[in-house]
Structure 1
Amino acid sequence: MRNLEGKLRLLAVALAAAAVAACGGESGSSEQQKITGTISLGAGARVCVDRNLNLQCDAGDPAARADAEGRYEILVDVGLDVSQHLLVAEPAGGKAAEGQPHRLATWAGWSNELNVLNTLVASQVLSRSAADANAAYGDIVRTFGLAEGVSLSATWASIEPVAQVALREAIDAAREQSGTEGYSASVVTKASLALIESLSRYVDGSTGQLLPAATAYFVKTDVRGTLGLELCLVPEVHRMNIVTEGGAPVLDKENDVKALIGLQGADGVTQAENLGAKIRGRGNSTWGMPKKPFRLMLDASAGLLGMTSGRQWTLLANYADKTLLRNEVAFCLARTLGMPYTPQSRMVELVFNGEYLGQYQLSNRTDELEVELKAQAMKEGVNTAAPLSEFNDVFLIEIDERLDSHFWFRTETSIPYAMQTDSDSEQTARVARWFNHLEDVLRDRSVVDRMGRVSQYIDLESLIDFSLVNELLKNNDVFFSSTSMYRSLPDGRLIFGPVWDFDIAAGNNNTTNFVQHPHGWYLPERFNGWYFNTLMEEQSFRFLREARWKYLSSQMRRVDRFVEQAAAAMGASQTRNFERWPILDQWVWPNAVVLGSHEAEVRYLRDWMTERASWMDQNIGE
């Protein structure tokens, strides 16, 4: 069927060209033929016959501009065999509009419609992955796993808008990877081949359409990883010096102590000195451990060690995590999924009032997000009393059973929420009312399009990504504490993340055999996670989660390599840390194993994650 479809296309193009030639072309001359078609880039786009197959409209290439309806008409010599050449489209003015790709292409002998599908077909042939356009189309259909009788050409119009956004992202990523600024054939082809693989995860093989609720966000973040971009920074170890006023100790989590901060890069070059700050303790169970975590508030916003500028910083001690890496692994997974506002962090060796305290993890946690939300809150009409239908509040909130925030509430289903951004009792009451309404929406199974209804309130893709990071690592704290989500404008939906607090995850917890073992689903056991569990009743949500897992699973070898390289980069730093804190052969709450060396701890983490990912591969479709 598909071979016949391709042959009929070729015949139609040949007959059209012959008819035009017989009529003498646009000018009535027998020396020219007319090529007509459509382009999805819209009015003003330049379309040319790419005679040297470089995906560029070079000087001398026959060309024309698309009209207001995206139609184009090019006159070429009758002697030119257009079936052997590409048609290439460049955006008007040479710069693509937001969400549009920088290039589109098609084989003139295959189709004169310039869209992303035909660009993928053309790239398959240019890369020699397929002998001709017909074979390339068949390969794409097979990669997408389409059922017999499903025509990708017929269903493509529904995919094109998402594919355009994703192709643009793919081309930009391929340029970044290659270090070039242009749109060469190699860049566009590489981007297109990656996009084929990425799209295949989100297309429903039975219909030839995107999975319900799948958007450009999933596809464009997928394609960056598929291209092989380095999404996780191997942590060099820097040096940090903190001197408090009068040498005062940090005694608790409530009282600030004035301090000056100095930073040296891993190369020994001074990055900052005499930064004014206030320091206090932080953490819950971790504050009770010998190696204390800290919270820093700089006197003025600053970007530390290349991270985004901010005032609030966290020093994680990672005392119970003898790899010193689990939090960084969680951040790596979140970055692989493209989760917004994933905390940045750097490893530092901390000297406090002249005393060496070991290796810490310096992070800006949610500071960047909080700054953005604070700016939104200052706009007129935001965070003001309004009917529920016009709810306009922005906030960062956290599920936290400890409820140690100034403003907090429990919903009607007893989920404990603590406000994390500046708030007051009036806003807290408004937010509580909105969450109770959200829970009513989630519990209403009578709605025909339940997923569509829920997606008006929750960014479902963020929930899926958040759930996968926590499920993969079996994070003991998820839906108990440190479970963040936020609402910002203009989107106005609840977004899950950023991820945080994974030091006793990934097999580093012996409180139950279930949480320690790499097998078994974990999130369904969490009561406060019923939002996720009730959505798992919906087939479309399960399919989308399965598609997203397939992408993350495809990246697990790279994540494992990151863990290996990150551990090696610590080198002498981790040795000094465990000389200061000689616990490698001691049990520390809630360790699942005591292995005696940093190398063995890292190997345990890597093996645990490999087995966990393998189990999820085998069971994700259940």
Structure 2
Amino acid sequence: MMFSNSSKNQISPEKCEEIGLSVMHIDTMAGKKINSKINYVTAMYEAEEFSGSCKIRGHGNTTWQTRELYKRPYLLKLNKSAPLFGMKQSKKWILMANTADKTSLRNEYAYFLARNVWNRMKWTPDARFAAVFINGKFNGLYQVTEKVEHEKLSLPEGSFLATVNSRLNKEWNFRTQRGTKISIRMEQKSEAEYKKMEQIIQNAEDVIFSPDFKSAEKGWQSVIDEDSFVDWYLINEFTKNHDAKFQASCYFYY
């Protein structure tokens, strides 16, 4: 949703509800501004029948630094888990601003394809659109989205979640021998455990770039699940996802 200042000021929760749009209210302590990706701001939230205390901070990288500062993405952390807007119960939620996409539909389109067309991936985040009011003022149309976390994938013991991350700013980060920047998205592990995960990823890269990479037994099919990779590739191609170029936000699991 794009609005001029004059029209934006005329949007009320009642008008949003009249047209069938869900509404979320977030009121920070003493009206404090949310201007950090690191430090949380204490707040209260209300989303349909659920309400309570929470914390909120900035989220994203390029999207957080966008020139459209009137509408930034946020990470909302509830003090108590809640199934917001009919989704599964969770404490952490991403408020996606979608400012780079004036239709606000590309991410939802990708999720739709992942659930209904190319649906052989382990997990797809659920999301709902909502009009977000911060400290009583309309902030814009947001996509309230499940946060990507290891626990939600229901992976067996010994598995782990990782992401291509050019910023190398997570708990454990490394570069593969070919320079791909990886963050392992597992917290509170020992150095030995992180090193073991790092070696698994490095071994996969070695196989992909080996002379035997076409071999059914020793090649790429021995380290990559073909069905889920093809689905991931096609969805990113159809939605023209710039993050798919292996710079950031490319999640995978072992």
TM-score w.r.t. the length of structure 2 is 0.82
The superposition leaves residues 73-99 of structure 1 with CA deviations (integer Å, 9 ceiling, x where unpaired) of: xxxxxxxxxxxxxxxxxxxxxxxxxxx
Alignment correspondent of 1:93: none
Residues 1:483 and 2:250 aligned together: yes
SS in 2 for 1:470: helix
Separation (CA, whole Å) in 2 of partners of 1:442 and 1:372: 25
Alignment correspondent of 1:370: 151
Separation (CA, whole Å) in 1 of partners of 2:113 and 2:81: 28
Letter paired with 2:231: D
Match of 1:250 among 24, 34, 55: 34
The superposition leaves residues 496-515 of structure 1 with CA deviations (integer Å, 9 ceiling, x where unpaired) of: xxxxxxxxxxxxxxxxxxxx
Residues 1:241 and 2:25 aligned together: yes
State percent identity of aligned pairs: 33
| 1:59-98 alignment, distance < 5 Å | none
Residues 1:418 and 2:168 aligned together: no
Residues 1:358 and 2:117 aligned together: no
The superposition leaves residues 312-368 of structure 1 with CA deviations (integer Å, 9 ceiling, x where unpaired) of: 10001111211111111111111121233111100000011111101111001324x
Structure with more contact order per residue of length (Cα contacts < 8 Å, sep ≥ 6): 2
Separation (CA, whole Å) in 2 of partners of 1:470 and 1:394: 25
The superposition leaves residues 476-532 of structure 1 with CA deviations (integer Å, 9 ceiling, x where unpaired) of: 111111100012xxxxxxxxxxxxxxxxxxxxxxxxxxxxxxxxxxxxxxxxxxxxx
Letter paired with 1:438: A
**Which entry has the higher C-alpha Rg, 1 or 2?**
1
Alignment correspondent of 1:444: 210
Report the CA distance between 1:444 and its aligned residue: 3.1
Alignment correspondent of 1:463: 229
Letter paired with 1:325: L
Higher helix share: 1
Alignment correspondent of 2:111: 331
Separation (CA, whole Å) in 2 of partners of 1:353 and 1:421: 34
SS in 2 for 1:308: coil
**Number of aligned residue pairs:** 227
Report the CA distance between 1:457 and its aligned residue: 2.6
Contact 1:409 1:428 in 2 (8 A): no
Q: Name the Cα RMSD after superposition.
A: 2.0
The superposition leaves residues 419-447 of structure 1 with CA deviations (integer Å, 9 ceiling, x where unpaired) of: 22314433221111111212222233347
Alignment correspondent of 2:56: 279
Contact 2:123 2:153 in 1 (8 A): no
Report the CA distance between 1:465 and its aligned residue: 0.5
SS in 2 for 1:346: strand
Contact 1:407 1:423 in 2 (8 A): no
Match of 2:87 among 297, 304, 307: 307
SS in 2 for 1:482: strand
Alignment correspondent of 1:317: 97
Contact 2:106 2:239 in 1 (8 A): no
Separation (CA, whole Å) in 2 of partners of 1:440 and 1:474: 28
Contact 1:314 1:364 in 2 (8 A): yes
Separation (CA, whole Å) in 2 of partners of 1:306 and 1:263: 11
Separation (CA, whole Å) in 2 of partners of 1:423 and 1:372: 18
SS in 1 for 2:230: helix
Separation (CA, whole Å) in 2 of partners of 1:421 and 1:294: 21
Separation (CA, whole Å) in 1 of partners of 2:101 and 2:152: 30
| 1:72-471 alignment, distance < 5 Å | 237-264=21-48, 271-273=49-51, 275-289=52-66, 290=69, 291-336=71-116, 337-338=118-119, 339-367=121-149, 369-372=150-153, 376=156, 382=157, 393-424=158-189, 425-446=191-212, 450-453=215-218, 454-471=220-237
Higher strand share: 2
